[in-house]
Structure 1
């Protein structure tokens, strides 16, 4: 059974409490999503570590229930 976008968003927010999360269903099938995750806690963290933090928040669902996730991560722009 595919995951709903709001489930993905909730898991990411639970694992990364300061995250702003945008989820887009790329294929309309509930299996292929894009996620843009912005979090102050990412500041100074290499992109690979940012992605690993998101994957850790998703746990075993990534590659299982959630088939594909196009991921963009960043720290918020400084004002």
Structure 2
């Protein structure tokens, strides 16, 4: 799969872990941005999504908040 997937996480977020495990189980390559380690990324994320929550997943330009496997798979199919 050639999807461009970025997951914005924090270190202690259990839902972030669920998203990453889901992507790994489905053999989907992703890039993780831990906003605990990169506060500027959180500022940019807030500007893009209007939300101060994680996880936020960007799949092919579509933002998905939280753990939403149905919409994650739909986003990967709609290019």
TM-score range, shorter chain: under 0.3
Tell me the TM-score normalised to structure 1 length: 0.27
